[in-house]
Structure 1
């Protein structure tokens, strides 16, 4: 199903498209962009996109062989969900972003004792960019993997630079296990997938050593619950799932302007906890945040427009880097359009 060339009229749901009563939006350019993307990259079997505003989908479309039940590896889009799990523990008082490695690993070397949980989840811990061999290896426990990582030489002084890595979150996940007495898989289920209604989201290796920064498989609709909650300032199903101030804190530049040594998104305006800051206002407040993975799945939230969106696809992110930025811009332009965004019910 494709949209008419001029208007997408508000109506009841139609095949492959969900449209709710309210403002009508001219999403034809977005549909055309994704059609062109798949045509120019025949190796990509399909894709899907959902855009949510004011608690309801304003666009939901499936391309190629993708359906509502398509579940794929989302790679680093996992980071945002794992950071949300930590924030839940922080708000409950079981952890603090300022907790240090030394409080949980008293045997860690002196140069790692003061690394904070916040630095572990914002890639400023000093741990090397290349993941340790144990990351994602189910033959390890999360504890033994964290110990292996903490045995590596620091690449820079903690807090002095930004280097994108999965090592930090692996250590931070073990800290959460120690704080709660639960496995990471149980923490993730208790804090994220169960309360947000995400039954098709889990780690591919959920046993003793899940890959916390990149090992999740999910459907588009599952992930849309998480970004919708964020766009709604922490509310979900009428209850406060996360505090609004906590979400703001997660979206602040937790790198504090540190120089970038290694980054898959050098155009970002810093990094929060598990999320990129892609647009900021004059005061440095996050306008748009995202968590794109290496396979190009891209969830994002636009605080100015109130949009939450998920683009699900399985390819190489580097192949679609410019297209993803264009997609974010096209969705934003549609929602901000002074004609189509205001009516034509």
Structure 2
């Protein structure tokens, strides 16, 4: 079943031609967990909103089994703008933005070394890692793969314990010279924010990002320890509000959330030729990396998640978009992301 709708709080843009995108979603959703929704914002309003539900019997069975293990009832309904699911590494963009609010206020510097705030890292030879390197996966800490790391972090009972665990990990080079996509850098950055502010990461995110952006259904859960690199839950409409702020160079509803300089810093590719790529997920292809976000090309930034959700901002075409999906199989994602972006680029007008 295919459902298309336009949100009441935005008028349809007759110049946005979405027919090819409709077809693409119909053709690809079966390979993306069986459900998808795509929202596109441009020129002050939603110009495209379309959902597809093409779940097969096996996908429904798996969703029911996962829900049963969690003591829940499986939700097999169509995704809507208010559907709330874990967004995995899409969280990284949120967390990097939160760190940048402290940079804007002068409470933290990108050049600050983390040992200044977390002495346990200094005791393990990691105190010279900078905040900038934490945000760009350039810590040179040889972390376990993402799934294993996330599983380990869910077992810890405090932020201090999480940092002690990271402190014990081996190094694989000089900070700033090795790129390894992992959870550790943003976990360290989150711990630094807690030390500076005396507040929990979840509270800081709510106060500085979620509430100002009216993201009423977005948070980092209620676990013992916040997971800045992958622990957020969000909805399509909430995430799109965040992306609109990024597109508008830090401003949302006439209120400044981030400085224009910070937004630009986040989008600067730090995977320069002198950086060794120790690990990057296949779906990233040849993308560069800034702070909490991949640099798809000169004008486009993104932060896809493990479960397939795909947020992006095109600064050239002046639009923001978010596709929500929920599946694990990553084969073909890079090609799908670039193809979908091209179709939305084509449909967009300025």
How many Å apart are 1:26 and its aligned residue? 1.1
Give the aligned length: 317
Q: Contact between 2:2 and 2:52, CA under 8 Å: does it hold in 1?
A: no
- Cα 1:216–1:266 shift into 2, 3 Å: closer
Provide the residue aligned with 2:297 in structure 1.
Answer: 279
| SS state at 1:319 partner | coil
- Cα–Cα, structure 1 residues 246 and 225, in superposed 2: closer, same or farther, change >3 Å? same
TM-score under structure 2 normalisation?
Answer: 0.85
CA distance in 1, matches of 2:40, 2:150: 37
Residue in structure 1 matched with residue 37 of structure 2 by the alignment: 48
Matched, 1:173 2:190: yes
- Name the residue aligned to 1:231: 247
* Secondary structure, aligned partner of 2:233: strand
1:162 to 179, 191, 201: 179
Cα RMSD after superposing both structures:
2.1
Q: Does 1:113 align with 2:127?
A: yes
Corresponding residue number in structure 2 for 1:302: 314
1:209 Cα deviation from its structure 2 partner: 0.9
Alpha-carbon shift at residue 84 of structure 1 (Å)? 0.7
CA distance in 1, matches of 2:130, 2:338: 32
Deviation beyond 3 Å, 4+ runs, structure 1: 131-136
Cα 1:151/1:133, change in 2 over 3 Å: farther
Which residue matches 2:212?
Answer: 195
SS at match of 1:59: strand
Contact preservation (8 Å) 2:186, 2:229? yes
Return the TM-score normalized by structure 1: 0.86
How far has the Cα of 1:44 moved from its partner? 2.1
Task: Tell me what 1:146 maps to.
Answer: 163
Structure 2 CA distance, aligned partners of 1:45 and 1:267?
24
Match of 1:76 in 2: 89
Structure 1 match to 2:285: 267
- Give unpaired runs (5+ residues) of structure 1: 4-14, 281-286, 336-340
Deviation for aligned residue 1:308: 0.5
Q: Answer yes or no: is the 8 Å Cα contact 1:267–1:278 preserved in 2.
A: no
CA distance in 2, matches of 1:133, 1:48: 26
Q: 1:255 offset after TM fit, Å?
A: 3.3
Question: In 1, Cα distance between the equivalents of 2:152 and 2:100?
Answer: 22
- 1:139 deviation in Å? 4.1
- Correspondence for 2:301: 289
CA contact (8 A) 2:42 2:320 kept: yes
Question: How far apart, CA to CA, are the structure 1 residues paired with 2:155 and 2:200?
Answer: 14
Rate the CA distance shift 1:270–1:165 in 2: closer, same or farther, 3 A: same
Is contact 2:239–2:322 with CA below 8 Å preserved after alignment? yes
1:69 Cα deviation after fit: 2.3
Q: Greater share of helix residues, 1 or 2?
A: 2
2:123 aligned with 1:122: no
Deviations 1:307-329 (A, max 9, x none): 11101110126134121211111
Unpaired stretches in structure 2, ≥5 consecutive residues = 54-77
Contact 1:293 1:317 in 2 (8 A): no
The SS at the match of 2:321 is strand
Is the alpha carbon distance of 1:134 and 1:99 closer, same or farther for their aligned partners in structure 2, counting shifts above 3 Å?
farther
2:237 paired residue number: 221
Distance 1:152 1:16 in 2: 49
> Which residue of 241, 261, 264 corresponds with 1:248?
264
1:163 Cα deviation from its structure 2 partner:
0.6
Deviations 1:187-234, CA, capped at 9 Å, x for gaps: 111111111111111123x34411110111111000000000111111
| Helix, strand or coil at the partner of 1:221 | helix
Question: Which of residues 94, 101, 116 in structure 1 aligns to 2:107?
Answer: 94
Distance in 1, Cα, partners of 2:198 & 2:206: 14
